Amino acid sequence: MTKRLNPQAMKTPFRFKIGRYILTAHGLLSYVFLYAPIIILIIFSFNASKFVTGRWHGFTLIWYQKLFVDEAIGAALRNSLYISLVATFVSTIFGTMVSLAMERYNFWGKMPFDALLYLPIIIPDIAMAVMLLLFFVMVKIPLGKLTIIISHIAFDISFVAIVVRARLAQFDSALEEAAQDLYANNWKTFRYVTFPLLMPGILAGALLAFTLSLDDFVITFFTAGPGSSTLPLRIYSLVKLGVTPEINALSAVMLLASFLLVVLSVWLQKGGDGKVDFM
């Protein structure tokens, strides 16, 4: 005799439903707590009031227009883009080389070097900033754009290496063996097989490094010199005089740019696949 299952007994117990609802509500409230201030900042960047009073006085784009005629903000933006592009280019090259070496070869001191590679991600920014400042003072390098670029490269390499190594972990080495069976040397194998397949991970790491370099404040604050003010430093100097709708507009632009770069980086890591072309 087969026993029939009671449909009522198969239902989820009430206490589990309550727990699920509580966890869902907790997650939603956490997101609201984190992102509500950002949404409010973006909304009030279109407020017609000259002061941040919390009251809506009408829609305007004047604060965004002022951003394009402010020479100090323009100079800070140029410094940020120059520093971020140079730091991203150098850190992407070295980060990719480090990733290949760590994944493909065994050498003496590999484990300590691997731990050292993750150190800039683990330690607080303030500690790294102080260490870099002391280093530049000891070697007598004047603070300026060069010191900011070196500092950004120091922590960008680790983030690029993590992303590229994640791509290498999914790499099928049989494709390289097939290319070598077709009489391709090491350089051609890397150029036509390895590099195209790693390109989504390399681009994702580069975008992540660019985003971190563009938004960095703590390390840049300690290693900047005269005439090397970046956009985050400019925002900080404006905030000390009081928050205005122009700062809201500038923050909204930076948030949008950072968000688009992060989304593109995640898309390249998950959805971008390099195509192999032997021609």
Q: Where would I find the H helices in 1-109?
A: 14-44, 62-67, 71-104
> Within a domain: residue 151?
yes
> Within a domain: residue 34?
no
Q: What pLDDT is recorded for position 248?
A: 80
Q: Report the range out of 51-55, 105-109, 145-149 with the highest average pLDDT.
A: 145-149
pLDDT band, residue 274 (cuts 50/70/90): very low
> Within a domain: residue 243?
yes
- 3-state DSSP assignment of residue 177: helix
Q: What pLDDT is recorded for position 151?
A: 93
Q: Report the range out of 47-51, 137-141, 176-180, 188-192 with the highest average pLDDT.
A: 137-141
Question: What percent of the chain is modeled with pLDDT above 90?
Answer: 20
Q: What pLDDT is recorded for position 94?
A: 93
CB of 154 closer than 8 Å to CB of 191: no
Q: Report the range out of 170-174, 225-229, 260-264 with the highest average pLDDT.
A: 225-229
Does residue 117 carry a pLDDT above 70? yes
- Domain of 251, CATH number, reads 1.10.3720.10
pLDDT in tens, 128-154: 999 999 999 999 999 989 999 999 999
> How confident is the model over 33-39, as a mean pLDDT?
83
> Within a domain: residue 46?
no
> Within a domain: residue 55?
no
Q: Which residues contact 48 (CB under 8 A, 6 or more apart)?
A: 57, 58, 59, 60, 62
The whole model's pTM is what? 0.75
> Within a domain: residue 197?
yes
Estimate the crossing angle of helix 71-104 against helix 231-239, to 10 degrees. 130
pLDDT band, residue 19 (cuts 50/70/90): confident
pLDDT band, residue 240 (cuts 50/70/90): confident
Q: Is the dihedral of CA 101, 105, 111, 113 positive or negative?
A: negative
> Within a domain: residue 212?
yes
pLDDT band, residue 14 (cuts 50/70/90): low
pLDDT band, residue 275 (cuts 50/70/90): very low
Expressed as residue numbers, the domain containing 213 is 65-270
Give, for 11, the enclosing helix (H) or strand (E). Answer: none
pLDDT band, residue 4 (cuts 50/70/90): low
CB of 219 closer than 8 Å to CB of 134: no
> Within a domain: residue 33?
no
Count of structural domains, the chain: 1
Q: What pLDDT is recorded for position 54?
A: 67
Going by the DSSP 8-state scheme, the letter that residue 1 receives in this structure is -
Lowest mean pLDDT: which of 10-24, 46-60, 157-171, 237-251? 10-24
Average pLDDT value for the chain: 81
Higher pLDDT, 220 or 35: 220
